[in-house]
């Protein structure tokens, strides 16, 4: 399963009203570290299918959400649960670090 695509338009429905935790990878095409973490996000989308909604949000195309949540450097990964930010990870981190953070919200 590929990561979902989150946008300013679908954010409320897909993230804030989600019935399970949501991991969002804030990224941009020109961002080198974003490309480094992309395969990890894809692996997690497969491994956590049905348990966690995992997707990406392009900060250049969706500035509203990025500004609202204070995303200043990318990649930034936010974990939401019950419509609230539960965790923030900034930078390209090892997969084990993200797995640990996801387990904390499940």
Asked if 5 and 41 touch (Cβ cutoff 8 Å), the reply is no
Confirm whether 51 is a catalytic residue: no
Distance CA 4, CA 2 (A): 6
Catalytic residue among 34, 37, 40, 102: 34
Distance CA 55, CA 103 (A): 17
Catalytic residue among 31, 40, 41, 77: 31
Backbone angles phi, psi at 12, to 5 degrees: -60, -50
Strand pairing report for 84-90 and 76-81 = antiparallel
Confirm whether 34 is a catalytic residue: yes
Distance CA 56, CA 103 (A): 19
User: What is the 8-class DSSP label of residue 74?
Assistant: S
State the catalytic residues. 31, 34
């Amino acid at each position: 399963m590929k990561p979902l695509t989150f946008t300013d338009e679908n954010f409320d429905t897909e993230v804030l009203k989600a019935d399970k935790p949501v991991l969002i990878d804030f990224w941009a095409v020109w961002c080198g570290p974003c490309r480094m973490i992309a395969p990890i996000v894809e692996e997690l989308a497969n491994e956590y299918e049905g348990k966690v909604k995992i997707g990406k949000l392009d900060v250049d195309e969706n500035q509203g959400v990025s500004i609202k949540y204070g995303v200043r450097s990318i990649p930034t990964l936010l974990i939401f649960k019950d419509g609230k930010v539960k965790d923030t990870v900034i930078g390209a981190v090892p997969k084990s670090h993200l797995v640990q953070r996801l387990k904390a919200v499940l």
